[in-house]
Chain A
């Protein structure tokens, strides 16, 4: 019983080199910092990592879904910032729960509208989200009235960051919950599969009768929801929000998605990968803090990580092509004996 479980895991790794590499990277980065920085493996730090994972994980998840669908959402940082501003601004007058609901409703709605335009007007996401990136940023600034919005009552942030079971907080627990739900949705429902289909093989999925509008709208609505949730978490945790904030999330989230094994061609990836990718980027960011490096260095190393992943994926693709050529030639050779025998027989009987 145990053996088959282990062999099943083994099989999963062999058939999915990108995911394997993601785990490898995660372990490598963690070990590096674990050995070179004393307190890296401590409880407190693990808690901090999980806290940051709450935000980065959501963005990584959102981008993973969009990239799986064969598109990308460049406006994700702006969407998160807008939600952060709305939630922080509304918490004081109407209380956190209602503010959160309104904020999430708006970000999901924004995602929904973007998905709608992409699906119905057949505009490419990459084009549209360049515009919405700027538009949403402007709206955030207007809503924040050009200043930093702040909470006056810090009970909410305190609650959000309370420790549960040593490592978790309400924020990270909810995020894990979201991950599980979305994961089940993507892998086990017809609608999730449709998203994979239109991403990985759009022509074929149309030929197979897969509708393109529904999965597109769902993908972007989900992305909007995750962006909003991330913004909510950040906003309520720190008690502040800025209109122009959270722009770094796009790069960090994209790297997280790619480390996690997503392919720019679409149709590949999953939530486990997204989680591993986000954790890896987190390990990197948190670890670098101990080197007292400035923010831009973190960006530099994150980009290097991206390059490493891309190089790996490219080599992996080349290897795949080589393998499939080999398999093709083998199947051709397989037919040879049979066919040549038939020819010889025919030539003999017709001499």
Chain B
């Protein structure tokens, strides 16, 4: 607590700005109509779930010291259309048309493959930014080529409805998924050997190597986890819309128009260190909810996408600066 106070005093200008924004935020929450309703709360969590689940997957990548994947929205895009293709055309196999399990399986396979391939290159020493930038273009190209950039839709009713629009005990399926995945991910990180390895390799790659934990297998596994979760969200979204097009995750998504950046920002707003070795998925989940809260508040106040993006962007920049200044032992720094 003492360090916090002294840090606060040291960076007076930034602290003042920070306090101002916190107050603005609190004011906004209380001044907005309908904010503190159960319905609104459910909406917030549901909105947070979509990028929150992907962000949980990305957290594994970040914690292991492999920065992040710039190909998140493209992975989601290819999985989205792959699922829709399965549901509507059965990949050419008549008996597979409309089959949820088959479509899901193929989609997950594609997602995992995309992740593993990128993870392989990263583990062999490639820079994650460059590898995933290239991977993004390639995945998106394949997705659009496969579908001729058309909308693929499939009939309702179908087997996938429970995932997209179903609900259980008053909460939508996607929200339950978010909660369950968050709990499962945190369990893995905290109590399994694999989770420990993630932190060790992320904290000091050379020391990890010296104690027998290579980054090669680590990179492949965490990238696969992240892509698999992206696939899951993509499937849920396609199920919700009963259709898919390659650009679903590019333009239409939320207020930001760029899913990848939103997911990366979620991981960072939660306070996870970009250098790896510090943080957890609970933080990421809180980050997702926090972003959703701010976005929701702006929507309820009738703001257009422009100011909404500014709002979320400001919040991201501020959390980055705050964590850089206050976190002990330099988290975002070298």
Contact = CB atoms under 8 A, between A and B. Distances in A.
Which bucket holds chain A's interface residue count? 35 or more
Contacts of A254: 130, 133
A259 to B, nearest CB: 12
Binding site secondary structure of chain A: helix
A304 B324 contact: no
Nearest to B325: A121
A223 interface: no
Interface string A234-251: 000000000110010011
B313 A134 contact: yes
A195 B126 CA distance: 23
A303 B268 contact: no
A18 B136 CA distance: 24
Q: Which of B308, B313, B321 has the most CB atoms of chain A within a 10 A radius of its CB?
A: B313
Interface string B84-111: 0000000000000000000000000000
B145 A244 contact: no
A202 B149 CA distance: 45
A302 B137 contact: yes
Given A251-B133, A258-B130, A307-B138, A137 B309 contact: yes
Interface string A119-148: 001111011101111111111111011100
Contacts of A258: 130
Given A126-B274, A141-B309, A306 B320 contact: no
A142 B67 CA distance: 31
A144 B307 CA distance: 11
A140 B141 CA distance: 28
A134 B306 contact: no
Given A127-B320, A131-B265, A297 B144 contact: yes
Interface in A290-337: 294, 296-297, 299-304, 306-307, 310, 314
Contact of A296 (B149, B257, B264, B321): B149
Contact of A146 (B131, B133, B275, B305): B305
Nearest to A203: B334
B316 A130 contact: yes
A303 B138 contact: yes
A306 B121 CA distance: 13
B137 A299 contact: yes
A296 B245 CA distance: 13
A14 B247 CA distance: 44
Interface in B257-272: 257-258, 261-262, 264-265, 268
Given A123-B324, A123-B333, A133-B261, A139 B137 contact: no
A87 interface: no
B332 to A, nearest CB: 5
Contacts of B317: 128, 131-132, 135
A310 B133 CA distance: 11
Given A135-B310, A146-B306, A264-B127, A296 B141 contact: yes
Contacts of A61: none
Given A146-B306, A294-B144, A296-B141, A264 B311 contact: no
B126 A124 contact: no
B256 interface: yes
Contacts of A136: 313
A72 interface: yes
A105 interface: no
A264 B149 CA distance: 33
Contacts of A137: 256-258, 309, 313
Interface size range on B against A: 35 or more
A33 interface: no
A117 interface: yes
Contacts of A130: 261, 264-265, 268, 316, 320
B135 interface: yes
Given A124-B332, A294-B149, A299 B140 contact: yes
Nearest to A247: B258
A21 to B, nearest CB: 16
Interface in B274-322: 274-275, 304-314, 316-317, 319-321
B129 interface: yes
Contacts of B274: 124, 126-127
Nearest to B311: A138
A131 B131 contact: no
Given A124-B274, A124-B333, A141 B305 contact: yes
Contact of B321 (A123, A133, A141, A247): A123
Contacts of A127: 268, 274, 320, 332
B315 to A, nearest CB: 8
Given A126-B129, A141-B306, A296 B330 contact: no
Contact of B134 (A132, A133, A307): A307
B313 A296 contact: no
Contacts of B133: 250-251, 254, 303, 306
B229 interface: no
Contacts of A297: 141, 144-145
A130 B313 CA distance: 9
Interface string B116-158: 0000000011110111011111101111110001000000000
A141 B251 CA distance: 14
Contact of A122 (B67, B308, B334): B334
A303 B134 contact: yes
B44 interface: no
6 contacts: A130-B264, A135-B313, A136-B313, A144-B306, A243-B306, A294-B149
The 4 closest A-B pairs by CB, nearest first: A300-B141, A303-B137, A135-B313, A138-B309
Given A145-B306, A303-B134, 12 more contacts: A121-B333, A130-B261, A131-B268, A134-B262, A137-B256, A138-B312, A264-B129, A300-B140, A300-B145, A302-B137, A304-B134, A310-B131
